[in-house]
Amino acid sequence: MPTNQTICNFFALLKDNSVRKINLLQSITNDIKKTFIDYSFYLKNDDTEEILFDGNFNIEGDEVLYVELLLPNELVEANTNAIGLEILDLSVDDIKALIWIENETYYFQNFDKRKLLHNKKVIYWSNNTYNKLSNEALIVENVVNAIYKNGKFYFKSYANANKIIPLNDFFEEASNETIEEFADNEILNIDVNWLKENSNSVIRKQITLIQKSNVLATATTRKIKSSANKFNLSIDIEDGKLKLPNDKKICKDILCFLNEQYYIGLISGKKFRTNSKRDLQ
């Protein structure tokens, strides 16, 4: 058990990824600790199902995403050598997350300048009158956006988690090189230059998922077109290949279909489209 836990548990992760310690008066330490520990329950508890993140699954309320990773050295040092860290200076330090460390578990809360009471006219109620807050201050909210424990980084929102620890290695938008590899598939007819110039974030993520899943490896043009017809999704065949049109909306629809995000309800027989899925195998 690291000895610094009795000295400091509260830290700020800055935008340059350095860490600052936040020394607290003993009178408020338990309140701050309780905020992080109590609200972590809504992110992850004993009944929460853990789902390995692959960029293709939107979770339910009783589920949490995770990736396995090693913490950056700066965060490890906060837990093992907090005495050597500089104290947070609100006048110069640019915070991206607040951290509470307890029993080898890191609790993260996203932070932005709206939560920094700096050069703002803040008044507070005291002794039946209002007084002006003259010191710089920060707001600690009742929320935990991510947790790190036993080598796993847990989160519900990719966007929030990615602001704390970059997750590009676990899921990223397709690069132009990846788009070129996708366009080289023998069953596809694609204007690769148009696709590279017009691909937005959604299209690039769909291409990444298709490439990662290797779903087209055993597919045929006949099978894909026949299946698409069941959903009234028209895919043209040109020179024996599936034609991806130079139209963003239709292109996105076809990519979603190729990524197997169209399905038929097993009970009702109704046709659906989802923006998430999970392999049950």
Query: pLDDT tens digits for 194-211?
Result: 999 999 888 888 898 898
Q: What's the burial of 89, exposed, middle or buried (CB within 10 Å: 0-12/13-18/19+)?
A: exposed
Q: What's the burial of 192, exposed, middle or buried (CB within 10 Å: 0-12/13-18/19+)?
A: middle
Final residue belonging to a domain, choices 112, 133, 164:
164
* CA nearest neighbour of 158 among 49, 48, 55, 237: 55
Answer yes or no: is 82 within a domain: yes
What's the pLDDT tens digit per position in 35-74? 999 999 999 999 999 998 877 667 888 999 999 999 999 9
Whether 84 and 149 share a structural domain? yes
Residue 84 lies in domain: 3-164
Whether 153 and 197 share a structural domain? no
> Is it the case that residue 254 has pLDDT exceeding 50?
yes
Answer yes or no: is 169 within a domain: no
Mean per-residue pLDDT for 144-166? 95
Whether 202 and 97 share a structural domain? no
Whether 187 and 107 share a structural domain? no
Final residue belonging to a domain, choices 164, 193, 208:
164
Is the pLDDT higher at 278 or at 33?
Answer: 33
Backbone angles phi, psi at 10, to 5 degrees: -110, 130
Whether 54 and 95 share a structural domain? yes
Whether 149 and 74 share a structural domain? yes
What's the pLDDT tens digit per position in 98-152? 999 999 999 999 999 888 887 677 787 888 787 777 788 899 999 999 999 999 9
Whether 202 and 96 share a structural domain? no
Whether 154 and 269 share a structural domain? no
Whether 96 and 181 share a structural domain? no
Answer yes or no: is 170 within a domain: no
- Tell me what pLDDT residue 193 has: 95
Count how many domains the chain has: 2
- Tell me what pLDDT residue 266 has: 78
Answer yes or no: is 89 within a domain: yes
Whether 152 and 196 share a structural domain? no
Whether 160 and 181 share a structural domain? no
Answer yes or no: is 50 within a domain: yes
Q: Which residues of 173-190 are buried (b: 16+ CB within 10 A; e: fewer)?
A: bbeeebbeebbebeebbb
Answer yes or no: is 279 within a domain: no
**117 in the Ramachandran plot: left (φ > 0), alpha (ψ -120 to 50) or beta?**
beta
Final residue belonging to a domain, choices 132, 164, 196:
164
Answer yes or no: is 281 within a domain: no
Backbone angles phi, psi at 101, to 5 degrees: -115, 125
Instruction: Give long-range contacts, CB 8 A cutoff, 24+ apart: 268-273.
Output: 271/230, 271/231, 273/231
Whether 182 and 107 share a structural domain? no
Answer yes or no: is 280 within a domain: no
> Is it the case that residue 278 has pLDDT exceeding 70?
no
Q: Say if CB 210 and CB 182 are below 8 A apart.
A: yes
Mean pLDDT, the chain, integer: 88
